[in-house]
Chain A
Amino acid sequence: MTVHTGVRQWPGEGLTRVPYWIYSDQDLYAQEQERIFRGNTWNFLCLEAEVPRPNTFRTSNLGDMPVVVTRDADGKLHAFENRCAHRGALLCLHQQGERKEFACVYHNWTYDLAGNLTGVAFRRGIAGKGGMPPDATPERHAPRQLRLETLAGLVFGTLGTETPPLETYLGPDIMRGIRRVMRAPVRLIGGYSQALPSNWKLYMENTKDSYHASLLHMFFTTFRLNRLSQKGGLVVSENGAGHISYSMSADVAGKEYEQAKLRTAQEGYALEAPELLQSVDEFGDGIGLQILAVFPGFILQQIRNSLAVRRIVPQGLERTELVWTCFGFESDDEALNALRLRQANLIGPAGFISMEDGAAVGFVQRGSHAAARELSVVEMGGQGTSSEESRVSEAAVRGFWKSYRAHMRM
């Protein structure tokens, strides 16, 4: 069903109610691309390690707009729309590689690594015939170039003319949370993508929903690996755009876990291979889990020693690609690398504590299909969007909508 945004009003209750038409409105989808992804937001494009040397590139997205990120001969980063100035064909057909320039395969128009049009094939025609008029200015239709900022190895881009500096956009808490994880030069260890059967916002809400974690993801609970006493908290940035949900690590290698195992073994709920959960406190602060998300589509994950960035790519109203890139650090020794690889069983589309997310967002999409006039209730932890100690809260979800409504002028 396509509904028109003109008749849509945000419910009077404010951020504690989310109308279901927000996930099923085709016009709204197009407007989001313009006002959010191509608007005044910072979008995570890739890790610097993905364009490691001069003359390397990788493709990425700004919402559903295809983008090429490059590192030029001088080592400077650029990003531009993956679209030829001529007929709009993709300029770059590879996910990554090395290139000194780009040439559109369709008519061989060429571009430098900053995305500037450098050549038009047969511009003056052949033997004085054909070609473009002398006053033609195809350069004016060149692919749009993004403004970039990097932070601790992360590359962010924006097309917005009024996007504040990245540091201001993120705020001090989120900056600290990013720097905490991105503590050293990154080494890539691989990645994969997950096709989510839902609107992009449902996945972003899911990552900001600290309330669902122990209820939907039953792995830790079933195997009695949760600690009710586990300390943690929820940090929401002032503009609502960023959040961090964190918890202190349970000492799974110590006495506490052994005791738990004794209890649960009798009930048949112990892990046969508990080494799955062996981890080290590599950040030295006892925080075992930190999920950090930045509006509109970036997630930085530390689940024990499993580190990854996730990038949300909207691919239409009811389809979203989630791009996972897992990493460690150049300084990792073999033992730490082995821990990261083993703990990767916790994450991704087959992850013990993450596989459900791909399905859950689809359940909402399907369940609310005929409920455009109904409202969902987002009232755990009250009405606010501020940081708090309890993770039994939807404050970060409300923060998402606060940010969303500001950008959408809704």
Chain B
Amino acid sequence: MPAELGKIERAPGRDLVTLERQFAVQDLNARYAEAIDDDRLEEWPEFFRPDGRYHITTAENLAQGFPIGIVSATSRAMLRDRIKALRQANVYEAQRYRHVLGTPRVVARNGELEARTSFMVARIMHTGETTLFATGCYRDRIVLDGDAATFAEKVVVLDSRLIDTLLAIPL
């Protein structure tokens, strides 16, 4: 293996990502995914800072520099509105997700952590039909404040441009 690939990643500020920080990122995404998979959607916005950004896009849009989002929120309030809409307004068949998360790659930069985590999400319909619904990568900016870790930004980059039927529950 070339030495370059094995090098420990240091941010420009030469801030070594400690195990503790690696754990904080992993733990945040684990709790995030669990809240969604357990249908505790009301908790979902609380993983973000009040001015946090949540954006679902596709690898194709990203590669071409296209800014459109499949979901595009720039505040925790917008995320709460989405959950309220899902609970009270939007119509979709009962379904749930199962997230499987990969190992995050974490870089410390400007006092924040930048992390990339692969994910796969299976969708389980009330009929029992289980399909691989989405794969992709979370590109997160995470702020550590004392014991709390929150998302300043979570960009969900889908590998595929094709979404089956609808995307109601957040990824």
Contacts and interface: CB of A to CB of B under 8 A. Distances in A.
Interface of A: 188-197, 216, 218-219, 221-223, 269, 271-273, 276, 321, 326, 337, 341-342, 344-345, 348-350, 352, 355-356, 358-360, 362
B164 interface: yes
A270 B89 CA distance: 12
30 contacts: A190-B61, A190-B64, A191-B61, A192-B61, A192-B161, A194-B162, A194-B163, A195-B162, A196-B165, A197-B165, A218-B90, A219-B85, A219-B89, A222-B85, A272-B80, A276-B78, A321-B162, A344-B68, A345-B73, A345-B78, A349-B163, A349-B167, A350-B56, A350-B71, A352-B89, A355-B90, A355-B92, A355-B166, A358-B165, A359-B91
B168 interface: yes
A360 B166 CA distance: 10
Given A193-B161, A359-B165, 15 more contacts: A190-B57, A190-B61, A193-B163, A194-B166, A195-B164, A195-B165, A218-B90, A221-B89, A272-B84, A321-B162, A337-B67, A341-B69, A349-B70, A356-B92, A356-B166
Contacts of A195: 162-165
Contacts of B164: 194-195, 197
B33 to A, nearest CB: 18
Contacts of B61: 190-192
Interface of B: 56-58, 61, 64, 66-75, 77-78, 80-82, 84-85, 88-93, 161-168
Query: Which of A192, A337, A358, A360 counts the most chain B CB atoms within 10 A?
Result: A192
Contacts of A194: 162-166
B85 to A, nearest CB: 6
A7 to B, nearest CB: 33
A344 B165 CA distance: 17
Contacts of B162: 192-195, 321
Contacts of A269: 88
A358 B90 CA distance: 12
Nearest to B165: A358
Nearest to B164: A195
Contact of B89 (A197, A223, A348): A223
Nearest to B70: A350
B68 A341 contact: yes
Contacts of B161: 191-193
B163 A344 contact: no
B77 to A, nearest CB: 4
Contacts of A189: 66-68
Given A193-B161, A216-B91, A350 B68 contact: no
Contacts of A197: 164-165
A190 B66 CA distance: 5
A410 to B, nearest CB: 30
A286 B5 CA distance: 58
Contacts of A276: 78, 81
Contacts of A337: 67
Nearest to B57: A190
Nearest to B90: A355
A156 B89 CA distance: 37
A356 B90 CA distance: 7
B89 A218 contact: yes
A349 B69 CA distance: 11
Given A273-B75, A344-B69, A344-B72, A349 B165 contact: yes
What are the nearest 4 A-B pairs in CB distance? A190-B68, A190-B66, A222-B89, A272-B77
B150 to A, nearest CB: 18
A273 B166 contact: no
A352 B92 CA distance: 12
A269 B64 CA distance: 38
Contacts of A341: 67-69, 72
Nearest to A220: B89
B96 to A, nearest CB: 16
Contacts of A273: 75, 77-78, 80-81
Nearest to B61: A190
A355 B69 CA distance: 14
A337 B81 CA distance: 22
A329 B165 CA distance: 29
A352 B90 contact: yes
Contacts of A359: 91-93, 165-166
Contacts of B69: 341, 344-345
A188 B68 CA distance: 9
Contacts of A218: 88-91
B81 A191 contact: no
Nearest to A345: B72
Nearest to B89: A222
A223 B80 CA distance: 13
A321 B93 CA distance: 20
Contacts of A345: 69, 71-73, 78, 82
B69 to A, nearest CB: 6
Contact of A222 (B67, B68, B75, B88): B88
Given A222-B85, A222-B88, A356-B92, A190 B67 contact: yes
